[in-house]
Structure 1
Amino acid sequence: MRILHIVSALAGGGVESSVMGSYRILAKDGIIFDFAVFTDRVGMLEDEAKSYGSKIYHIPSKRESYKRFLKSVKDIMKNGNYDAIHCHLAEKGFWFYYFAKKYGKKCIMHTHGCWNKQSFLGKLKKNILVALSSKYCDMYCSCSMASAKYVFGKDYKKSNIINNAFKTERFLFSQKDRDEVRKSYNIKDNDFLIGAVGRLSAEKNQGFLIKILSEILKKRKTAKLMLVGNGAMKSEWEEFAKRLKISDSVIFTGNVKNPEKYYSAFDAFCLPSVNEGFGMALVEAQINGLRCFASNYITDEAIVKKENVSKIVLVDEKKWAEALTDAESGYERNTCIADFEQFSVEQVSRRLISLYNKLL
């Protein structure tokens, strides 16, 4: 079986990391995943994918040449010998769906998003693209029920929910990892480290945490914020920290190959997203036993340990600062890994192959 996965990049983000998690298991059974990505850069996961026999297509940018973009998509769909096309771009993958159907290939539309703040025109455009794309798709998949309802509307029940897959045991708390990470960034034992993991983007809203940190520092001088990940907003938020004169207390790690180790270094975890299809990082933080603070836009489907998660409206900056300061008092980081079985890469991989067999 050979499946083409269409993702933004293979740079280690949540979607592609989940796909690769399943791939590592399914490749042992001779199943091949190829990838189409929308960047010229070689992603950190590409070499591993190629080691399993994958082919990576780097699709030309629409902005540079729409004609070249269309030709590239058409050629892949026409000449690729695929059992199915699995597109993780939801309605934005319209041309992949169109050409897949034209050349007789089964196609999956998979949504990972849930835009809570969207203009009327944005919603209208989304709805039109979903309606058009649906004509050429054979199956719907979603990362959560909230995401399914957002994209597919009244047809949300037709969508198959596929949890993001990962090795859950890797995210258990480790004192060794905590000591190593904190030492490498010169974080002292008595420093209160607030952490966030994910792409640095407007929808992830990490800039909000920089603002909150400035409030916390008025009372707790040794508080620090660590932002794990990279993205388009990095420069802007570095400048924001400078303007607030707290640059020394904000750590930008960039992309890392072992994000699971960083959770152990944190004293509290935050997910202040304004738009989030699921919030996988919140699940990872709960496995680590962290006290977690999430925006009111995060779906309850991502909350497994209710006693460890506080949802706070984003407009209440004072409440965020107070809640985080209270978390400094300490707590036991105990986790029962069985509570997170539904996210295990083994279980999700079985679910995925079952859906492929159903499709074919």
Structure 2
Amino acid sequence: MSMGVTRDPDRPVRALHLVGPMNRGGVESWLMTLLRHADRRVLALDLLTTAEQPAAYDEEIRSLGARLLRLPPASPLSYRSKLLGLLRAYGPYDAVHSHLHFFSGWPLLAARQAEVPVRAITSHIDSRSLDRQASRLRHVYHAAARQLILRSANRKMAVSPEAAAALYGDGWMRRGVTIERLGLDLSALRTLSARDETLRELGLPTDEPVLLSVGRLDKAKNHLFLLDVFAAFLAHHGRGQLLLAGEGPERKHIERRRAERGLTERVHLLGSRPDVPRLLHAADVFILPSLYEGLALALVEAQVVGLPCVIAGQLTPASRLPGAFYRTPFLTDDLSVWVDALNQALAAGRRPGDGSAFDVRTNIQSLLKVYRA
């Protein structure tokens, strides 16, 4: 049965976003920003999550009037069949928008078979370093998935050129892929909060340098290397505090390395936090030594509030804002180079970057153009 429709211009544009668990993270926080700011009379967003268990944002999603559907990953054919059923039950949708990287081909195929007018996909991650290490069978899967995506999607996007190359291949520009900014609530980021008050709430001294890193505790964020950098920083400075905001599978490894380095009293694992802007206003330097990123939204946020940043040199320039202060040592550099970069960042002080290109209102208008096309 065809589910293709001619859209009534007087009703809202309806889009179904396909995501993983809605816990705090870059993609998830961006989607929540969209939900909080989009007028559902104009753009009505629903979410389809692969998560079987409740996640951090689930309750707020429903409170904002969005439908939250669940479809745990299964065999591709089973997933496609169940998704067709959901599209029949809850549609019609003007757009299905996937954020599931290589797995996106199957839901986009289902959307094409359901005659959803816009089948969109955004690549959020530069996974090439991991992909190169994959097994031969995995390479075959990636090649097949890429072809399925290219055949099924009629709107192909990425958050950076690096993320585009990872999902669509080196010829991504010839394949009609566009680079799209993600939206941030700039006014919330710019709302000042008292540094000393936040630090006292965390039980931290207010007269020491505070370094902050925000991101999921997984190998890609390179926290073990960060602890080595911080130990070298302390050897030079004698004092300082490192805040790690985020949760993930590497927590136990980070705790073990922290203890081995004698850093237990100075490295603070804060877990998943709803108040990242407060932390950004309380810190003195933002540090991000990730192995790879698609677009580091936490880094963009840090620059908006004016934090000087020290980031791994291989990360995409798409995350850097005009006017912001950043240093870009490479992961292969000696630890002393990282310490020197941190010293320069501390001396620089706050310099807000121009984040206007990431304004959520601009992002919503851009998505409406995609979904109405």
TM-score when normalising by structure 2: 0.87
Residue 98 in 1 paired to residue 109 in 2? yes
Once the 2 structures are TM-superposed, how far is the Cα of residue 58 of structure 1 from its aligned partner?
A: 2.3
Matched residue type, 1:164 = L
Check 1:217–1:87 CA distance in 2 against 1; reply closer, same or farther (3 A cut): same
Alpha-carbon contact 1:227-1:251 (below 8 Å) kept: yes
Alpha-carbon contact 1:77-1:103 (below 8 Å) kept: yes
Residue 318 in 1 paired to residue 333 in 2? no
Check 1:124–1:214 CA distance in 2 against 1; reply closer, same or farther (3 A cut): farther
Map residues 186-197 of structure 1 onto 2, 5 A cutoff. Answer: 186-197=203-214
Match in the other structure for 1:109: 121
Q: Structure 1 unaligned runs (5+)? A: none
Match in the other structure for 2:99: 88
Match in the other structure for 1:210: 227
Aligned residue-pair number: 352
In structure 1, C-alpha distance between the alignment counterparts of 2:327 and 2:348, rounded to whole Å: 15
Alpha-carbon contact 1:172-1:289 (below 8 Å) kept: no
Match in the other structure for 2:157: 141
Map residues 337-348 of structure 1 onto 2, 5 A cutoff. Answer: 339-348=354-363
Residue 277 in 1 paired to residue 277 in 2? no
Partner deviation per Cα, 1:302-356 (whole Å, 9 max, x = no partner):
111466011111121221123213433x4442436xx221100111111111111
- Which of 331, 356, 359 matches 2:371? 356
In structure 1, C-alpha distance between the alignment counterparts of 2:305 and 2:254, rounded to whole Å: 27
In structure 1, C-alpha distance between the alignment counterparts of 2:15 and 2:183, rounded to whole Å: 17
Alpha-carbon contact 2:123-2:157 (below 8 Å) kept: yes
Once the 2 structures are TM-superposed, how far is the Cα of residue 52 of structure 1 from its aligned partner?
A: 3.0
Check 1:340–1:307 CA distance in 2 against 1; reply closer, same or farther (3 A cut): closer
Check 1:302–1:179 CA distance in 2 against 1; reply closer, same or farther (3 A cut): same
In structure 1, C-alpha distance between the alignment counterparts of 2:314 and 2:349, rounded to whole Å: 27
Check 1:66–1:86 CA distance in 2 against 1; reply closer, same or farther (3 A cut): closer
Matched residue of 2:286: which SS? strand
Alpha-carbon contact 2:246-2:272 (below 8 Å) kept: yes
Alpha-carbon contact 2:34-2:183 (below 8 Å) kept: yes
Structure 1 stretch displaced more, 179-188 or 257-266: 179-188
Q: Structure 2 unaligned runs (5+)? A: 1-12
- Between the aligned residues of both structures, percent identity stands at 23
- Which of 156, 161, 166 matches 2:179? 161
Check 1:320–1:39 CA distance in 2 against 1; reply closer, same or farther (3 A cut): same
Check 1:134–1:297 CA distance in 2 against 1; reply closer, same or farther (3 A cut): same
Alpha-carbon contact 1:276-1:297 (below 8 Å) kept: no
- Which of 89, 98, 103 matches 1:79? 89
Structure 1 stretch displaced more, 229-238 or 27-36: 27-36
Once the 2 structures are TM-superposed, how far is the Cα of residue 264 of structure 1 from its aligned partner?
A: 1.0
Matched residue of 1:181: which SS? helix
Match in the other structure for 1:253: 270
Matched residue type, 1:242 = A
Match in the other structure for 2:49: 37
TM-score when normalising by structure 1: 0.90
Check 1:237–1:71 CA distance in 2 against 1; reply closer, same or farther (3 A cut): farther
Matched residue of 1:53: which SS? coil
Structure 1 stretch displaced more, 103-112 or 22-31: 22-31
Partner deviation per Cα, 1:135-156 (whole Å, 9 max, x = no partner):
1111101112222233223133
Residue 8 in 1 paired to residue 26 in 2? no
**RMSD of Structure 2 on Structure 1 (CA):** 2.2
- Which of 147, 167, 173 matches 1:151? 167
Partner deviation per Cα, 1:249-298 (whole Å, 9 max, x = no partner):
11111111121111111111111111100111111111111110111221
Structure 1 stretch displaced more, 342-351 or 311-320: 311-320
Check 1:299–1:90 CA distance in 2 against 1; reply closer, same or farther (3 A cut): same
Matched residue of 2:152: which SS? coil
Alpha-carbon contact 1:32-1:52 (below 8 Å) kept: no
In structure 2, C-alpha distance between the alignment counterparts of 1:180 and 1:171, rounded to whole Å: 17
Alpha-carbon contact 2:329-2:341 (below 8 Å) kept: no
Once the 2 structures are TM-superposed, how far is the Cα of residue 68 of structure 1 from its aligned partner?
A: 6.4
Residue 128 in 1 paired to residue 144 in 2? yes
Check 1:124–1:272 CA distance in 2 against 1; reply closer, same or farther (3 A cut): farther
Match in the other structure for 1:267: 284
In structure 1, C-alpha distance between the alignment counterparts of 2:80 and 2:154, rounded to whole Å: 21
Alpha-carbon contact 1:194-1:270 (below 8 Å) kept: yes
Partner deviation per Cα, 1:41-82 (whole Å, 9 max, x = no partner):
3222222221232221222244xx778655543432443302
